Amino acid sequence: MPITQHEESGFFNVELEDRTVQVPRFCPHRGGRLDHGQVNYSRQTLSCPLHRSVFSLQDGRQLSGPPCGDLDVTPCTSVQMPLADSLEQN
């Protein structure tokens, strides 16, 4: 599955064809669980399952849906593990 879960951190990773991006777990509109949303890999967008807001995975811009603002989408340079997982491996 191309979505990596990170419960403790409030974000999750989406693996696109050429890169991986870190995305906030909750939609800024009404707190919909974006990790339960639909990723459109060809358009590189993410749809909120609650009210169907659509966000660009390239820059976080809101493309459609109820006005709520953009997402803080961050490119990942390496795999980021939750703190609890990284502590267990040491």
Would the pLDDT of 17 be above 70? yes
Place of tokens 């409030």: 10
Please give the average per-residue pLDDT across 48-72, as a whole number: 94
Q: For residue 16, what pLDDT is reported?
A: 93
More confident residue, 80 or 17: 17
Q: For residue 55, what pLDDT is reported?
A: 96
Cross-strand partners of 64 = 54
pTM score, whole prediction: 0.74
Q: What is the mean pLDDT of the chain?
A: 82
